[in-house]
Amino acid sequence: MARKIGLYGILAYCLYGLFFYWYLFYFADASLPFEYEGSRADPATFLNGRELMLSEEYSKIRNLLFFLSTPFEWLLYLFILLFGLSGVFKKWAEQSSTYKFVQTIIYVAWLSFIAFAATLPLSYISYSLSKTYNISTQSFSSWMKDELIDFWINFGTMAVIAAVLYWLMKKSLKRWWLYAWLLSVPFSLFIMFLQPVIIDPLYNDFYPLKNQELEEKILQLADQANIPAEHVFEVNMAEKTNALNAYVTGIGSNSRIVLWDTTLNRLDDEQILFIMAHEMAHYVEKHIYIGIAGYLLLTLIGLFLAAKIMEAVVARFGRALRIPAVHDIRSFPLFLMIISMLLFAASPFENLVSRYQETRADTYAIEMTENTDAAIATFQELTRAGRSQVNPPLLVKIFRYGHPSMLERISMLEEFEIEKRNQEKNEQSQ
């Protein structure tokens, strides 16, 4: 049975990979609909021939890596179970300590290390690809440092989750998922509160915006939107990437608006003000808190489904997977695999909600700034800097895009510009 499961797993992964290779490189059409040709959404109007070619190449390879990496994680956890490695990790943990909590930490340490080592080649390929296409400017040592920080943060989080989960399972095998969710609410909020001041600075240096004149303009914009902002933060990303970005992070008193220094270096003040208005829209429309509520709801559903699926899998395939019971720590790779699958399945819905919120933020920003030229130039520069596709294939958009495509964003701005021009004509004629 174990051999058959492993064979089917490999076969399914290969067929899945071949499908997405065929889809991305031969079937999917990322060309621009003819009605948009020559518009400012047409990449041929703001990218040269080489930039167009590099964008298409980079996007296809990057998208293929995305679709291959997540199922690879599922396959990894499956083989950890089939080969009995989960049992070996438990044995080593029990030999190392008599304390259950320490045993759990040691077990998770071994599992985390194997998963990190197995997925590192894919991470390196992604890093190397970004370097090749001049997206990343990060040195190997700096990249490796970030990978190790990721490892320790993931290990610490996973150790806490595993210790709590399996303690709850032994207390209540039927309702552990509900109690786990109740505990996840304060834990998630605590992590979100710490993110800007503890976790993010582990990767980069954050400091108040040095351009005081620009900061004053941004704060005036915030005042118009009734946002109690005192500082805008910039982060030194130029030593790592050529891409541009700005975002809102944190909750409560630790919430921040952050600009990458690459954005400051490549965009003018009017373009940056449009970006800032976009980020302020998320605050005004409470997208962060809506996102938190949605995350907690999906967590509840996910834990419930994980509990039911784990019961069914262990009852049917427990012997082949070498899992004697759901509440045994050896089932942890199965839990992680199921959660990863559920997250992947839920991503189209999450991205759909996110795209709606981003469209709302774009609308808010252009209504506040009324500078379509700056807004369109911003999106064009974002496309150039990130080697992005203006009109991505459907499956890529569904599973990867938390923002509308650049075609949709620029087209919306052009429509706003036409409506504004018509409105001004009507006012003059009256």
Q: Which residues are catalytic?
A: 279, 362
The helix/strand/coil state of 247 is strand
Q: Is 327 annotated as a binding residue?
A: no
**Taking CA 208 as the corner, what is the angle to CA 207 and CA 212, rounded to the nearest 5 degrees?**
140
Q: Is 270 annotated as a binding residue?
A: no
Exposure string (b/e) for 84-93, b if CB count within 10 Å is 16 or more? ebbbebbeeb
CB 72 within 8 A of CB 119: yes
φ/ψ (deg, to 5) at 328: -80, 135
How far is 265 from 249, CA to CA, in rounded Å? 22
How far is 10 from 22, CA to CA, in rounded Å? 18
Distances (CA, A) of 185 to 58, 116, 191: 39, 27, 10
Can you state the angle between helices 287-321 and 332-369, rounded to 10 degrees?
Answer: 160
How far is 430 from 415, CA to CA, in rounded Å? 23
CB 191 within 8 A of CB 198: no
Q: Is 231 annotated as a binding residue?
A: no
How far is 244 from 207, CA to CA, in rounded Å? 17
Residue 330, amino acid: R
Helix-strand-coil percent breakdown of the chain, rounded to 5? 75, 5, 20
Which residue in 290, 263, 270 sits closest to 360, CA to CA? 290
How far is 235 from 182, CA to CA, in rounded Å? 35
Pick out the residues of the known binding site for Zn(2+). Answer: 278, 282, 358
Pick out the residues of the known binding site. Answer: 278, 282, 358
